[in-house]
Amino acid sequence: MELSFNRQAELNSLYNQIMVRENVLLYGSTGIGKSYFIKKLKAKLEGRRVCFYRSLRGIISTQQYLNELIRDMREVAKSYSNLDYQLRRFLESHPIYQYETLAHLNSWFQDLTITLSQIGLDFLFVFDDIHEWEDEDEMEFLYEHFRILNQASNCQILLASNRNTILKINGFKITAFKLGAIPIESIWKEPMDWQEKAYKYSQGNTIFLIETIQYCENNKGDFEAARASLMNDYHPVLGKIKKRFTKLQWRLLRAIAFEEIVEQPHSFEFLVRHKLGAASSVERALRNLSDSQMILKTDNGWKLSNIIYQRWLQWLYSKAI
């Protein structure tokens, strides 16, 4: 079954923010469709912005970061003769071997900004998956690059992350834009019972919803059979993650998965209900799970960051709790 995920209203809203030159942090849970949404936005901005896109997933060194950013920029520049010429001149005079750390790159970005400011085009730098940047100790230098780029009146920034972390950088203002679950009525005008169950089960998470629907169709609309089959297929892979955590961290993950939203994870009732022990130990476990991005804090409380992990834990321990 071919699905239509209509996010036109959200797309128009974000487009308007870009057109009035706002810097934007696009955030939403893993699998909600941020990268696909950015692809649609780039298409809508064609002729209005020159978009440079770079995902920060899997970046482990300054040289890799710079190499991949340059490659992306050069590919885009091929469509603009003056930009292509000026960028080649800039890169010839700024050999990348000179830059060993993110801090050293400040001067590179400052000179790049000067070059771009002299070109009669408007630029949008898109940095996707910023939550996956591996060296947290250097995040402040990464943020500084955003500020430097934004110094040019014709450059702005779009960041994408799985959480709302408004950046506090002097001279750099950014607006949060939440990408939520796509409404069920945007997918089906009159959903069948199993479609409603699939939507609720996936919480409207685009990637997980598509997979759940496929399993439902393979099981002729039998949602319970589809769910069991889906989780059985996930189990060999997800089962391996347990070794990454202490016993307390694992119990806490399981408890949050079953309650789905936990407003007060230090409360006596929650600790006793799930046999978690001392509040001080739970606080440390909570902090470690948050640092590893397994859980996140929302306006309503703590939850698992990945709906697939949540559903798997619920399935795995459904008889134990």
Concatenate the DSSP letters of all residues of 230-282 into one string: HHHHHHHHHGGGGGGS-HHHHHHHHHHHHHS-BS-TTSHHHHHHTT---HHHH
Report CA dihedral (57, 60, 65, 68) to the nearest 10 degrees.
-70
Residue count of the chain: 321
Structure-token match 């902090």, residue found: 287
Q: Report yes or no: 125 and 42 within 8 Å, Cβ to Cβ.
A: no
List pLDDT tens digits, range 304-320.
Answer: 989 999 999 999 998 65
pLDDT band at 234 (very low <50, low <70, confident <90, very high): very high
Domains of the chain (ranges; CATH) run 8-178 (3.40.50.300), 190-242 (no CATH), 245-321 (1.10.10.10)
Q: What number is the average pLDDT over the span 47-72? A: 93
pLDDT beyond 70 at 5: no
For residue 211, is pLDDT > 90?
A: yes
Mean pLDDT of 287-315: 92
Average pLDDT over the chain, rounded to whole? 91
CB-based burial, 121-160: b 16+ in 10 Å, e otherwise: ebbbbbbbbbbebeeeebeebbbbbbbbbbebebbbbbbb
35: nearest Cα among 51, 55, 15:
55
> Tell me, what amino acid is at 257?
A
CA-nearest of 159, 64, 55 to 102 is 64
Q: Which two tokens stand for residue 119?
A: 């070109």
If pLDDT is split at 50, 70 and 90, which confidence band does 232 have?
Answer: very high
- Taking 60 as the threshold, does the pLDDT of residue 27 lie above it? yes
For residue 167, what pLDDT is reported?
A: 66
Max CA distance (Å), the chain: 67
What average pLDDT score do residues 224-237 get? 96
**Distance (Å, whole) CA 105 – CA 113:** 12
pTM across the whole model:
0.79
CA terminus-to-terminus distance, the chain = 36
User: At a CB cut-off of 8 Å and minimum separation 6, what does 313 contact?
Assistant: 253, 254, 257, 258, 304
